[in-house]
Structure 1
Amino acid sequence: MKYYYEHILPNGVHVIIRSANPNDAIELHHLFNKTHSETDFLTTYPDESHFDLEKEMDSYQKLNDSENSCEILAVIDNKIIGSASLNSVSLKDKEKHRGVIGLSILKEYYGLGIGNILFSTIIELGKKAQYKQLELQVVSNNTSAISLYKKYNFIKYGENPKAFLNRQNKYQSIDYMRLEIE
């Protein structure tokens, strides 16, 4: 799915929300590593990322050609500062009505409304892709993310109290949330 839109943030900063493309692969890898080093709320650590430029470029091209999956970027001053993804849970008939969402933003850009823009955009793209349900996972004590998700009527439908065991040997609980679109 391809997407492009320009926004002016409340602080006057110009942000472009657009689809990732193959030429973004290296910068997106750096974004991934930076966002995953800034918080313990994301699924992996930066050193667990295995980067293959050719595979990444191919995956972004496939996303652009897809009718139901995408990666959108927040770009300020030609710098990628956040991303949101939408992918099908499965291509099997019984599950293809479900889309899964991911979201990450550089810490220095927290609180500017970028998460709100990315999240509302990815929900609209999920509707356009004709998903009946959008889903996500969130660390249970990530209150700012949960607040954003609830703003868009996502509801908690489950919890795994020992979903993550971080490198400090502490468990992190995960909330499962969904939005029914029908």
Structure 2
Amino acid sequence: MRVNSKEFFIHNLRYIVRSAIETDAKNLSEIRLQIDGETENLDREKGEAYINESGFKQLIKDDTESNSNLFLVAEVNQRIVGFSRCEGNKLKRTSHKVGFGVCVLKEYWGYRMGTNLLKESIHWADSNGMKKMTLNVLETNEKAMMTYKKYGFEVEGILNKDKLLSDGNYYNTILMSRFNE
């Protein structure tokens, strides 16, 4: 599904949040790879579960054609610097919910891009009859958890010792959700 573009101006930086289009595919493949190498907050290490340009083209096409998926990008000066996805499914018993994920290049942390991608996704979900949004967050990502709680997400469960990070220690994954009555 597509949504209208929205412009933001935060800390002297202007950026746009908009629906992904197929011509974004090459850039998305490159920045996803870069982001995966910049943080351990995501599930992947750099290069794992790599999605190439044609893979992103197909993902964008499928998401655009689906009423239960949303693929957004954050763009600065015609350059994609972050993105988010809401992914639903066609099974009747779980068709009321979508999973949410977000990532932003490290040099653009602090400009509320992740928050604005989240807010636009929540608005889309609520406007399209999605009753539940779910997400996973690493227990060490306290800033993200505070943001999610601010926007109505609650802890739903904990996956104990779920991720092995570079320091050799295991960390919990926090399952969070937001229910729209």
What's 1:136 paired with?
135
What's 1:112 paired with?
111
Query: Secondary structure, in 3 states, of the residue corresponding to 2:140?
Result: coil
Q: Which runs of 5+ in 2 are unaligned?
A: none
What's 1:32 paired with?
32
Query: Secondary structure, in 3 states, of the residue corresponding to 2:32?
Result: helix
Deviation at 1:120?
Answer: 0.3
Instruction: Determine the C-alpha separation between the residues in 2 that align with 1:137 and 1:6.
Output: 26
Deviation at 1:48?
Answer: 1.0
Scaled by the length of structure 2, what TM-score is found?
0.93
What's 1:93 paired with?
92
What's 1:47 paired with?
47
Structure 1, 171-180 or 51-60: larger mean CA deviation: 51-60
Scaled by the length of structure 1, what TM-score is found?
0.93
> Is the counterpart of residue 11 in structure 1 residue 17 in structure 2?
no
What's 2:149 paired with?
150
Q: Which runs of 5+ in 1 are unaligned?
A: none
Instruction: Determine the C-alpha separation between the residues in 1 that align with 2:177 and 2:6.
Output: 27
Percent identity of equivalent pairs:
23
How many equivalent residue pairs?
A: 181
CA RMSD of aligned residues (A): 1.4
Query: Secondary structure, in 3 states, of the residue corresponding to 1:46?
Result: coil
What's 1:76 paired with?
76
What's 1:163 paired with?
162
Whether the aligned pair in 2 keeps the contact of 1:84 and 1:104 (CA below 8 Å) is yes
Whether the aligned pair in 2 keeps the contact of 1:4 and 1:16 (CA below 8 Å) is no
